[in-house]
Structure 1
Amino acid sequence: MSHSSSTILTESGTNELEIIEFHLVKHLPDGSTKTCYYGINVAKVREVIQVPETTDYPNAQPHMIGVFSSRDILTPLLDLGGWLGVPTSKELDRKFVIVTDFNRMTNGFLIDSISRIHRISWNDVESPSQFLEAGEQDCVVAVVRKDGNLIMILDFEKIIADINPELSMEKYDVKGDRTVDLNQQMVTKRNAKTIIVVDDSAFIRSLIQDTLTSAGYNVIACKDGGEGHDKLMEIAEYAKAEGLPVHELVNAVVTDVEMPRMDGMHLLKRLRESDAYQTTPIVMFSSLMSDDNRSKALTLGANDTITKPEIGKLVSMMDKYVFN
């Protein structure tokens, strides 16, 4: 079951996406079971396969079952249920593996069953409530209601960073980056500039915010495309009422692509259609930024794009568009 040729709806600005629904069967203390419903964007999935033969990897991280070869790429197989704290059957013969391909990494996630693909609007994708959203450690970025079930869209970037900390963007520290100008004059210049950051992952949002504020920028963070659009429109209305150009209040926008309520491409399209933000620097910061997706983002009006592992490029890119 390969999805490599599937249309990636989110990049066209239509505010739609396709998700794969999959299940983990939770084993309860009384011997009964309960089906847990999860989802992942089709654009992140290379294929769904039966459990392959794996090789043990020395000194492996917890919940790493082993490694296998996926199209000649050495790929870790991760016990998703174990990481989530969902006890499942240990028998592998009836399970499946979702092989993901994003952030320039390939990973396999062990699941109990695959259901089907749903084509939905981001308007129907809900952000977790404040009660559910546990900050940076939360692993659910969105919820979809389908056929009477709640499908949890997981933060796979967070999961991979937790299991493979050496590959995590958390290792980046702008204060140790010699390519970034951190002299007091430049930091003071950045102190006068404000960047809107829009990302549904609390984990990623915090990393972007910390990186930009460490370099001197002011940051206003929004947890999804809908909140980002509302905030930007609110600022535009305030600027208009005060007789100010909007660039005195917002100097740039950094946005993810896949987000609840409104995806990043649709947000970009809406901003470029508004009078206030036609020339505001907008950078797309996504794990799905292939060459084709970059081309679509630029066509919709983005100034630039970054793939999520490349957070080290962010401050210099902001400097380029904010000050030039």
Structure 2
Amino acid sequence: MAGVLDSVDQRTQLVGENRLELLLFRLAGPQIYGINVFKVKEVLQCPPLTILPKSHRVVIGVAHIRSGTIPIMDMGLATGNTSVGDPKDCFVIITEYNTATQGFLVSGVERIVNMNWEEIHPPPKGTGRDHYLTAVTEVEEKLVEIIDVEKILAEVSPMEESISEEILESSRSDTHQEAPKVLIADDSKIARKQVSKCLEALGIEVTAMNDGRQALDHLRDMVASGVTPSDHYAMMISDIEMPEMDGYTLTTAVRNDPAMNKMHIILHTSLSGVFNQSMVQKVGANDFIAKFNPDVLAAKVAEQVKVSQNKA
């Protein structure tokens, strides 16, 4: 796999065009899986591992890579399947999620494919509640399953989801006013739950959509019924990576529509922060928050809710 990510920096032009590139890989069987290239830092043959006592069963050890110590998880075990095999015969995909670096052991890495987010679809209905898919697509007539890595990380290394008392007291909405409303768009069930729990603790009424297309259709339906979205919602919080329509494209569509372009928009994502700060300006979002810090999210939302209430 040497050189498979050599030109990743040149691929940034895809973002904002509702496009992405998937790194395709396999676990123990013939099924093909995918992960967004922008989450991937490196792909390498699995290095020697150091076993950590009392670690989660899917964490098979830590690797010392580039002067850093990185936990390595067996992607097969992490998704409720069998182990991908002997680490000595496997590859590791080094990724960055939620400002942390981790590696996933896979049996083989194939290639990178260039796709449109419109070709990425939500998991089929009937998949069940305990699946680890965030989306599916098709490459050369073969089904590709895109794994919900945020769900894996939430199970292996749960993040603090509660708002500190200090932030909670200073951020709680005025109980004498109607409960403020916030629209969120995120394809990860875990992420939707985390954000909803955070906002509801502030007394906020949450409307959740599964992807950018759903969110945009919802806003357009409001406009068609005579409701101005920015009057109804204090803000919209959108993930970036979503099937059908990504958060950048959603933001651009909202900004280009005079009937809804006053919406306050925060992009909330596990993608690299430095890159996203420039994209925030390009697409016209108001802010960017890296997932998932409940105090930061609560403070940002409360600040905008107060601005919205003062305008009412």
Tell me if the contact between 2:75 and 2:84 (Cα under 8 Å) persists in the aligned partners.
no
**SS class of match (1:186):** coil
Residue 50 of structure 1 corresponds to 45
Partner AA of 2:11 in structure 1 = T
Q: 2:242 aligns with which of 250, 259, 262?
A: 259
CA deviation digits over 1:5-59, x for unaligned, max 9? 3523563x20000010101133xxxxxxxx1211000000011100100111121
1:84 matched to 2:79: yes
Spell out the pairing of 1:131-150 with structure 2 (5 A cutoff): 131-132=126-127, 134=129, 137-150=130-143
With over 3 angstroms needed to count, the CA separation of the structure-2 counterparts of 1:90 and 1:315, relative to structure 1, is closer
With over 3 angstroms needed to count, the CA separation of the structure-2 counterparts of 1:143 and 1:298, relative to structure 1, is same
Tell me if the contact between 1:6 and 1:43 (Cα under 8 Å) persists in the aligned partners.
no
Distance in 1 separating the partners of 2:206 and 2:84: 45
Q: 2:54 aligns with which of 49, 53, 59?
A: 59
1:38 matched to 2:33: yes
**SS class of match (2:126):** coil
TM-score by length of 1: 0.88
Q: 1:179 aligns with which of 167, 170, 178?
A: 167
Tell me if the contact between 1:289 and 1:306 (Cα under 8 Å) persists in the aligned partners.
no
Tell me if the contact between 1:187 and 1:215 (Cα under 8 Å) persists in the aligned partners.
no
With over 3 angstroms needed to count, the CA separation of the structure-2 counterparts of 1:250 and 1:105, relative to structure 1, is same
Q: Give % identity.
A: 28
Tell me if the contact between 2:84 and 2:106 (Cα under 8 Å) persists in the aligned partners.
no
Partner AA of 1:5 in structure 2 = D
With over 3 angstroms needed to count, the CA separation of the structure-2 counterparts of 1:96 and 1:213, relative to structure 1, is same
With over 3 angstroms needed to count, the CA separation of the structure-2 counterparts of 1:5 and 1:133, relative to structure 1, is farther
Spell out the pairing of 1:69-108 with structure 2 (5 A cutoff): 69-88=64-83, 90-108=85-103
1:316 matched to 2:303: no
**SS class of match (1:57):** coil
TM-score by length of 2: 0.91
Question: How many residues of Structure 1 are paired with residues of Structure 2 in the alignment?
Answer: 303
CA deviation digits over 1:251-290, x for unaligned, max 9? 2100000000000000000000011221111000000142
The answer for unaligned runs of 5 or more in structure 2 is 308-312
Distance in 1 separating the partners of 2:10 and 2:57: 33
Higher mean alpha-carbon deviation, 222-231 vs 308-317, is at 308-317
Q: 2:9 aligns with which of 5, 29, 35?
A: 5
Per the TM alignment, residue 129 of structure 1 is displaced from its structure 2 partner at its CA by 2.4
Q: 1:218 aligns with which of 169, 188, 205?
A: 205
With over 3 angstroms needed to count, the CA separation of the structure-2 counterparts of 1:184 and 1:56, relative to structure 1, is closer
Distance in 1 separating the partners of 2:43 and 2:51: 21
Distance in 1 separating the partners of 2:169 and 2:17: 38
